[in-house]
A and B are shown apart, each in its own frame.
Chain A
Amino acid sequence: MEENSNQPDWSISELYEKSWEIIKKNKVLWVFGMALAGAGSSFSSFSNSSSNFKDLINPSSSPLASPASNQISQVLGAAASNPNLPDIGQIILILPWYLYLILGNMAPILASIPWYLYLILGLEILALVILGYTISIIYSVWSHASLIQGVQKALGSEKLTIADTSEKAFPAIKSLAFLSIVPSFVIVGVGIVMSAVFIFLLTLGGAVFKIIAGLLLAVWVIFFLLALIMLSLTLIWSYREVILRQKPAMEAFKRGYYLAKKKLWSMLLLGLVNTILSAVVTGIPIVVAFGVVVGGFLSLSAFKDLAVVLIILGTILFFVVIIGLTLLGGILNAFKTSVWTIAYNKIAKKYG
């Protein structure tokens, strides 16, 4: 794993400055950044029971109403002192048994339903899952491709529009989908098989054999983790090879691996800085809101009025943070994509 020991190909501060300039001027990139963030959760939100529910504008979450704090403290105080209400520990212990009893009682009812209805239901759920997964993959790669295309256009000082950027991303969807699924699938598949083999070997033979098998398993786990890291780094460049140089998937993957080997330590450092930035920017607001809510609950017994105010304030803050994080997540995604794209432009020709 070589690295050019002369002048570094990039400096993090330069990448960050340029990226910030691009992101500030091109709000279209924020939109694709939010789409990329949303693509990760699109699988869970996909629903095909009626297409119309997607057509309607999502209702905005309304801020909590603020009832009189006296009323709330009375209710909370009453709840805390009511001996007839079960405590949370009791509920957690009872719940599985309760579910078991309910299902036990419902077994004759469920058994009376024809088997083919269960079969059709199972097939529909399976189809939903597969379709949802497929759509989430396409959504993710399309938004990623659009973001990279948009950044490249912005670097060339071109005007960005959703229509043009999206149009340029379409041809890359198939290759990117291949890159996002197949290499991960292969590595994880091999990882699972090898881990199973080593765990099986652990159950055989005497103590010495077990120790050797255990050591081999530990080495294998480390190797597997390194392979995953290398895959992530490879895909960063591979995606850009597909989108910006229109390379086919396998060729882009090989080239991405070559570049990742060349710039391994620089990439790891840049990735670490990006991660710290994301954690700080997104984590601090969450921690503050969460802290206010937790502080409210902790002071419930001693300072009821203050606790109520803190809980209400913290909950409102939490909702504001969630909404703000949607936008912030988009900007962060666009920023990080821009950083990597500028870095790619710096090394692509040099190691061509």
Chain B
Amino acid sequence: MDNNRNASFGLRFLATITEFFIFLSMHLLFWFFLIQSSSISQFFYNFILYLVVLALSPLGLLHSLLFTYYLGGTIGKLVTGLKVVDRLGQRLNFKRVFFRQTIGYQFSSLVFGLGFLSILKYENKLAWHDKASGSKVIVAKNLWMLSAVLAVIFFVFNLYLAVSVLDKAFTSPLPGEISEMFKSVGKSQIPAEESTPSALPKLRVD
């Protein structure tokens, strides 16, 4: 196989899947620890921490921009041996990287991802976001086997985490406490004359 040829749809899809599983595992790990909270107050503390550190943090965007700009691709692409370059094979400038990773992907997502499928249609294997930003994805090294192995490992790991989270969700005392909280709210759901905010049932807090 010649290197520096344009990457096929299969390789790019593999890179995407591997990266998806890697990031999914971070979320599931957080949920795994979240669901082991011993009380509602601890659960909410951990949940806010999850939002701050992962769900709403700029880490995803920063990873996408900085990795692509400095290293030529996000984690999935790097472990698959792919690289994002401009039409002349040089490093993309930061403005183009920003455009490609934000607006470009939205552009390719139009009409159920038709822009991504155009990689299959054209011989030059360019998606719409590649055409719009003047970039291309090349095969810098033949690492697709490593990517496939990592994808399988992380898939299995994610499966284990997901099953554990669901198992904990059904066996932990938290769902019981939360439903107790809603039940006590439900008992005072219609405002009667004697029911004032100060007479609200108080939740037991650890």
Binding site for B on A (CB under 8 A): 31, 34-35, 38, 42, 45-46, 48-60, 94, 97-98, 100-102, 104-106, 108-110, 112-113, 117-118, 120-121, 124-125, 127-128, 131, 135, 138-139, 142-143, 161-163, 166-167, 326-327, 330
CB distance from A173 to the nearest CB of B (A): 9
> Number of contact residues on B: which range applies?
35 or more
Q: In the complex, what distance in Å separates the CA atom of A139 from the CA atom of B19?
A: 25
Contacts of B89 in A (CB 8 A): none
Where chain A touches its partner, the secondary structure class is: helix
Is there an interface contact between B16 and A38, defined as CB atoms closer than 8 Å?
A: no
7 A-B residue pairs with Cβ-Cβ distance under 8 Å, sorted by A, are: A50-B20, A56-B16, A56-B20, A105-B184, A109-B41, A131-B61, A163-B132
CB distance from A134 to the nearest CB of B (A): 9
Contacts of A101 in B (CB 8 A): 185, 188-189, 200
CB distance from B159 to the nearest CB of A (A): 18
Contacts of B205 in A (CB 8 A): 108-109, 112
Q: In the complex, what distance in Å separates the CA atom of A255 from the CA atom of B58?
A: 41
- Given A38-B110, A109-B40, A57:B58 Cβ within 8 A: no
Is there an interface contact between A125 and B182, defined as CB atoms closer than 8 Å?
A: no
Is there an interface contact between B45 and A51, defined as CB atoms closer than 8 Å?
A: no
- Mask, B101-132, CB within 8 Å of A = 1, is 11101110111110011000000001010011
Contacts of B20 in A (CB 8 A): 50, 52-53, 55-56
Instruction: Indicate if B147 sits at the interface (CB-CB under 8 A).
Output: no
Binding site for A on B (CB under 8 A): 16, 19-20, 23-24, 27, 40-41, 44-45, 48-49, 51-52, 54-58, 60-61, 63-64, 74, 76, 99, 101-103, 105-107, 109-113, 116-117, 126, 128, 131-134, 181-182, 184-186, 188-191, 197, 200-203, 205
Is there an interface contact between A49 and B56, defined as CB atoms closer than 8 Å?
A: yes
Q: In the complex, what distance in Å separates the CA atom of A118 from the CA atom of B45?
A: 11
Contacts of A139 in B (CB 8 A): 103, 106-107
Q: In the complex, what distance in Å separates the CA atom of A30 from the CA atom of B201?
A: 59
Instruction: Considering the complex, give the chain B residue whose CB is closest to the CB of A102.
Output: B185
Contacts of A94 in B (CB 8 A): 189-190
